[in-house]
Amino acid sequence: MTRERCSSFPTCRNCIHDTVLKIDQLQKEAILEDECEGCESPLTRKLFNTRPISFYLCNGSAFTVEIPETTETSSVFRIEELRGDCVTLRILKQCGPKLICTHHTVILNLCCVCGLQCFQPICCEECKKRCKFY
């Protein structure tokens, strides 16, 4: 059995990978910053901990998944973890005008991705952290 790669490049480290890595780092920093509650914690708090993102496959279609336990699909995700060329994504669900985080994740091989789109930041309650609203 042979494993096909979506990309003809020997490595998938490119601008897509670099962007996903940067978003992952920023989201993790937002969560860590929220954990500090002592005298030396920052004076300002982050209102958001998630940059919603959509991925576009090399054939031009949006990466879309079924949301388990529903009849709905989604093509908007939160980056949870980057490991090599694969990224674990939390599925986001449209709830009226807002995006909310689900309990469900999916893994995507970034070698199959040729484009991405970022959206306005949100607070993902599934990250087990509070978002402050002032």
Number of domains making up the chain = 1
Condensed to tens digits (0 to 9), the pLDDT of residues 83-123 reads 999 999 999 999 888 999 999 999 999 999 999 999 999 98
For the stretch 37-83, pLDDT in tens is 555 545 445 678 899 999 999 999 999 999 999 999 999 999 999 99
Q: Is residue 115 part of a domain?
A: yes
38 within some domain: no
AA identity, residue 129: K
**Strand positions, DSSP E, 23-129:** 53-57, 65-66, 73-74, 77-83, 86-95, 98-109, 113-118
Domain assignment present for 101: yes
What is the span of the domain harbouring residue 60? 15-33+47-127
- The string of DSSP codes covering 103-116 is EEEEEEEGGGEEEE
Global confidence as pTM:
0.76
2 occurs within a structural domain: no
